Amino acid sequence: MKVEDFQERKVEIAGWPVNLSSYRLGDVFHCKADNVSPGAALARTTGATREEAEKKALDRAGQLLARTRVQSI
């Protein structure tokens, strides 16, 4: 199998920049949401459609980032 329909975009969730990457592998769409600055993966999900996989990743990333506190310097 090879990766098809690769798509990458930047979105903002809870005030944080997030890089959203999605692609199709066979009949399943995969999606990864990562924090742009350190590049840490926040969520990896799968779904029958791109929209389903991205929604799951965005929901999980939103849960994690909403709990993150910003420290003022």
Q: What is the pLDDT of residues 8-67, one digit of tens each?
A: 999 999 888 999 999 999 999 999 999 887 878 999 999 999 999 999 999 999 999 888
pLDDT, residue 36, reads: 82
pLDDT, residue 41, reads: 92
**Given a cut of 80, is residue 70 above it in pLDDT?**
no
pLDDT, residue 16, reads: 87
Query: pTM of this prediction?
Result: 0.85
Query: Three-state SS across 16-73?
Result: EEEEEEEEEECCEEEEEEEECCCCCEEEEEEECCHHHHHHHHHHHHHHHHHCCCCCCC
**Does CATH place domain 3-66 in 1.10.3470?**
no
Beta-carbon contacts of residue 59 (< 8 Å; ≥ 6 apart): none
